[in-house]
Structure 1
Amino acid sequence: MKFWQNLSWIETDQQIECARFAEEVGFDGVMHGDHFCFPDVIRSRYPMSPDGAAPMPTDWAYPDLWVTMAAQAAVTSRLRFAAAIYTMATRHPIVTAKATGTLALLSGNRAIVGVAPGWMKEEFDAAGIPFERRGARLDEAIRATRKLWGGGAVEHHGEFYDFGPVRLEPMPGYALPIYIGGSGEVAWKRAARLGDGWIGGGDAPEDVPELLATLKRLRAEAGRADQPFETILPLTRPASVDELKRLHAAGMDATVAYPFMLTIGPRSTIDEKKRAMEAFARDYIRAFA
């Protein structure tokens, strides 16, 4: 079992030291949230809460995640980094490929591009991108970005993007791992067709085996059962070590320590965050060592 620390919403000046310490105590990776921007007025329904209200105020921190990961990569050697979740459809594939391709080169290919269609219409409005058909736009953006990562002269002529031949140098020459997020059957099918892994939005431990079985079935139907696929699943309640061992045996590759915002409050010192990570490492990571 692998363990990730969610570093979304923390004080930006603590990001680098938190990543360094996460590696020190044994976390496999750290995660970062993303929004193109965060409008002050949000009427869109948040899909992960019962009442549709977004849990985050509009002033919570969302520093550029690729810049943040690059800074963290400079002070770590094995820690991985994941976008959870990057709203890829609000950016042009050239913008995404340039930033993430550079990060791959600087970090030794330690970054995961976690993507989902997005839920906030106001974010798309601010980006000047139609909210409608955002899923189809995301699918095409994934394909175009993977072509650009290969390097050389690239052209793409699709429904949503039309460019090239263009060059982005340097590019890594390989495709970065793209993990899919979201909720429901459409998202699971996208993961089966296009994803190198799945990043959950939060599941109860008792629901995880059925989700894993569904992903396995859909990947087989897509003809991709033999390809590598990693599942990173945050849980909606803390699980015991024995529960995590059973879930790991069922095919769950990794889970996530809750954001500090939800455990020790909206403001905390770096020492408080270190104590929280050390406690998690003691209770969970070392139990699997």
Structure 2
Amino acid sequence: MTVRIGAKVPNSGPQPLAAGIGATARALEDVGYDSLWVSDHVVLPREIGSRYPFAADGKATWSTDTPYFEPVVALAMMAEATARADLGTAVLVAPLRNPVLLAKQLASIDVLSGDRLVIGAGAGWLREEFDALNVPFARRGSRLEEWIAIMRECWTGTPAARSSDFYELPADLLSLPATTRPVPVLVGGHSPVALRRAGAVGDGWLAQQDASELDPDELRAAREQVAAAARDAGRDPQAIRVVLRIVGSSGACDLVAARLAELGRAGVDEVIVDVIDGDPARDLDLLREGAAA
């Protein structure tokens, strides 16, 4: 199967105000991208002390003093501006939010967009962000699993009562609009626990690599861990999607294109690239050629 090509729509920095989130999404859809994605942070500290899990040295080097527009709001704007492309988060730090309210917001976008929503959800890594929202950083992974279960209940429209260490969901509720299908939830993260979670409770795994350090072998091995967790949970491993967020790909889509067929053979179903600093139409042509090689 040919690898699908998604694009990151900037919801931080100067681009959202300079070009508009909706207008950017519409332009990328018109070019032909299969999916459009936004990222998430609620607050950022002036100095990041937490270990950044996607860098070898554990250090986040990007600036924190830039506007970061809320991703659910951005998705709503993108849904109104587009008609075809899937819309997703890569990733949403779900444990920071109330799960019933989040389920309502996401169901509204999914129904109004015509079933186009895909949620990449992660447990989070930035302790300072959890502290700012008075959410315990400990057991955030278990909280994420409970949040996913609660949201899926809410998306039925008539959620069953639930009781856990993290949340009490009472009986006899209506959560409308109900979605016409469970919104796909891709679980983010690369730790063994995150890979197990993706296979056990996720509809897919949302991975991340840098464009200059693409490693299909690492992805293949991780995908096997996800598949094993799915089998252990009595689920079909073939139904678990793998979506790869490729950071550092702006202006470097030729590097991605050269490895895309190999990534597909490693089990990647879809990639998300940065295209705003390049030529989005040219980049998509390069990527499609690479996927077909």
TM-score by length of 1: 0.87
Identity of aligned residues (%): 29
Is contact 2:187-2:194 (8 Å) kept?
yes
Equivalent residue in structure 2 for 1:196, among 174, 182, 203 = 203
1:23–1:51: structure 2 CA closer, same or farther, 3 Å change rule?
A: same
Equivalent residue in structure 2 for 1:48, among 50, 54, 62 = 54
Relative contact order (C-alpha < 8 Å, sep 6+): which is higher? 1
Query: C-alpha displacement at 1:193, in angstroms?
Result: 0.4
Please list, as runs of the form range in 1=range in 2, the aligned pairs for 1:51-200 lying within 5 A after superposition: 51-152=57-158, 154-165=160-171, 166-172=173-179, 174-200=181-207
Question: 2:282 and 2:275 mapped to 1: Cα distance?
Answer: 14
Question: 1:230 and 1:200 mapped to 2: Cα distance?
Answer: 11
Deviations 1:72-103 (A, max 9, x none): 11221111111111111111111211110111
- In the alignment, is residue 255 of structure 1 matched against residue 271 of structure 2? yes
Aligned counterpart, 1:269? none
Query: C-alpha displacement at 1:205, in angstroms?
Result: 3.1
Deviations 1:164-191 (A, max 9, x none): 2333322325321100001221110000
SS at match of 1:74: helix
Runs of 4+ in 1 over 6 A off after TM superposition: none
Supply the AA of the counterpart residue of 1:189. Answer: R
1:226–1:199: structure 2 CA closer, same or farther, 3 Å change rule?
A: closer
- In the alignment, is residue 225 of structure 1 matched against residue 218 of structure 2? no
SS at match of 1:251: coil
Unaligned runs of 5+ in 1: 265-274
1:226–1:49: structure 2 CA closer, same or farther, 3 Å change rule?
A: closer
Deviations 1:231-262 (A, max 9, x none): 111346764645322322332111121364xx
Is contact 1:257-1:280 (8 Å) kept?
no
Of the structure 1 ranges 205-214 and 234-243, higher mean CA displacement relative to structure 2 is found in 234-243
Is contact 2:187-2:197 (8 Å) kept?
yes
1:217–1:49: structure 2 CA closer, same or farther, 3 Å change rule?
A: same
Question: 2:21 and 2:244 mapped to 1: Cα distance?
Answer: 22
Supply the AA of the counterpart residue of 1:162. Answer: E
Query: C-alpha displacement at 1:227, in angstroms?
Result: 5.8
CA RMSD of aligned residues (A): 2.2
Is contact 1:101-1:171 (8 Å) kept?
yes
Question: 1:287 and 1:222 mapped to 2: Cα distance?
Answer: 35
Aligned residues, how many? 276
Is contact 1:154-1:167 (8 Å) kept?
no
Deviations 1:136-195 (A, max 9, x none): 111111111110111135432111001323333223253211000012211100000011
Deviations 1:111-137 (A, max 9, x none): 111111100111111111111111111
Is contact 2:199-2:237 (8 Å) kept?
no
